[in-house]
Amino acid sequence: MAEEPSIPLRTTGFRLLHRLSLRLNVPLDQVNFAACQLLALLAAFWFRHYLSPTKVSTVIRHVVVTILGIYFVIFCFGWYSLHVFIEIFLCYCIMTLAKIKNIHKYSFVAALAYLTLCQISRVYIFSYKLLSTDFSGGLLWPLMIITQKITSLAFQLHDGMGRKEEDLTKEQSRVAVRVRPTFLQYCSYHLNFLSILAGPTSNYKDYIAFIEGSHINMKLLEINWKKKGYRTLPDPSPLRAVVQKVAITVVCALLFLSISKKFPISYVSDENFVREASFFSRISYLIISINAVRPKYYFAWTLADAINNAAGYGFNGIDENGNFRWDLISNLNIWNIETATSFKMCLDNWNIQTLFWLKSICYDRLSNYRIPLTLMLSAVWHGVYPGYYFTFITAIPVTMAARTVRRNFRHYFLSSKTKKVAYDIATWATTQLVISYTAAPFLLLAVGPTIRFYKSMYFYGHIVCLLVLLVLPTKLRYHFDQKRERQPDIKPANETLDPQLDEKIK
> In angstroms, rounded to a whole number, what is the distance separating the alpha carbons of residues 468 and 103?
43
Calculate mean pLDDT across residues 361-382.
92
**How distant is the alpha carbon of residue 74 from its chain centre?**
24
> In angstroms, rounded to a whole number, what is the distance separating the alpha carbons of residues 86 and 117?
13
Q: Which residue has the higher pLDDT, 427 or 486?
A: 427
396, 451 Cβ separation under 8 angstroms: no
Q: For residue 213, what is the DSSP state?
A: T
Contacts of 174 (CB under 8 A, 6+ apart): 205
Q: Which residue has the higher pLDDT, 478 or 253?
A: 253
Picking from 176-185, 328-337, 489-498, which range would have the lowest pLDDT averaged per residue?
489-498
Using alpha carbons, select from 426, 391, 433 the residue that is nearest to residue 406.
426
Question: What pLDDT digit, counting tens, does each position of 111-123 carry?
Answer: 999 999 988 887 7
Question: Which pLDDT score is estimated for 320?
Answer: 81
Phi then psi dihedrals of residue 328, to 5 deg = -60, -40
Q: Is 305 exposed, middle or buried (0-12, 13-18, 19+ CB in 10 A)?
A: buried
Q: In the predicted model, is pLDDT for residue 493 greater than 50? A: no
pTM above 0.75, yes or no: yes
First to last CA, the chain: 82
Question: What pLDDT digit, counting tens, does each position of 1-19 carry?
Answer: 444 444 445 677 888 888 8
Q: In the predicted model, is pLDDT for residue 506 greater than 80? A: no
Question: For every residue of 148-175, which 3-state class applies, written as one string?
Answer: HHHHHHHHHHHHHHHCCHHHCCHHHHHH
pLDDT band at residue 504 under the 50/70/90 scheme: very low
**What's the half-sphere exposure (Cβ side, CA atoms, 13 Å) at 497?**
1
Question: Which pLDDT score is estimated for 3?
Answer: 43
- Average pLDDT over all residues of the chain: 87
Name, of 8-17, 38-47, 368-377, the range with top average pLDDT. 38-47
What residues does each domain of the chain span? 11-212, 235-329, 333-474
Q: In the predicted model, is pLDDT for residue 449 greater than 70? A: yes
Calculate mean pLDDT across residues 248-257.
92
**How distant is the alpha carbon of residue 166 from its chain centre?**
29
> In angstroms, rounded to a whole number, what is the distance separating the alpha carbons of residues 380 and 382?
5
pLDDT band at residue 505 under the 50/70/90 scheme: very low
pLDDT band at residue 138 under the 50/70/90 scheme: low
Question: Which pLDDT score is estimated for 129?
Answer: 52
Question: Which pLDDT score is estimated for 494?
Answer: 44
Distances 73 to 15, 143, 200, 224, 308 between C-alpha atoms, Å: 14, 11, 15, 42, 17
Q: Which residues are catalytic?
A: 351, 382
Calculate mean pLDDT across residues 133-148.
75
Picking from 10-24, 167-181, 299-313, which range would have the lowest pLDDT averaged per residue?
10-24
Percent of the chain with pLDDT over 70: 87
Q: In the predicted model, is pLDDT for residue 161 greater than 90? A: yes
Q: In the predicted model, is pLDDT for residue 480 greater than 50? A: no
97, 118 Cβ separation under 8 angstroms: no
Question: Which pLDDT score is estimated for 30?
Answer: 85
Contacts of 21 (CB under 8 A, 6+ apart): 27, 28, 30, 31
If you count them, how many residues does the chain have?
A: 506
Question: Which pLDDT score is estimated for 13?
Answer: 80
Contacts of 147 (CB under 8 A, 6+ apart): 87, 111, 112, 114, 115, 381
Question: Which pLDDT score is estimated for 103?
Answer: 96
326, 170 Cβ separation under 8 angstroms: no
Helix, strand counts (H, E) of the chain: 23, 0
Angle at 53 between CA 47 and CA 58, to 5 degrees: 95
pLDDT band at residue 191 under the 50/70/90 scheme: very high
Identify whether 27 is preceded by a cis peptide bond (ω within 30 of 0): no
Calculate mean pLDDT across residues 353-366.
94
Contacts of 169 (CB under 8 A, 6+ apart): 364
Contacts of 175 (CB under 8 A, 6+ apart): 156, 159, 203, 204, 205, 206, 360
Task: Please report the sign of the dihedral spanned by the C-alpha atoms of residue 360, residue 362, residue 367, residue 370.
Answer: negative
Give the chain's radius of gyration (CA, Å): 25
Calculate mean pLDDT across residues 124-141.
58
Picking from 18-32, 263-277, 368-382, 482-496, which range would have the lowest pLDDT averaged per residue?
482-496
Question: Which pLDDT score is estimated for 45?
Answer: 96
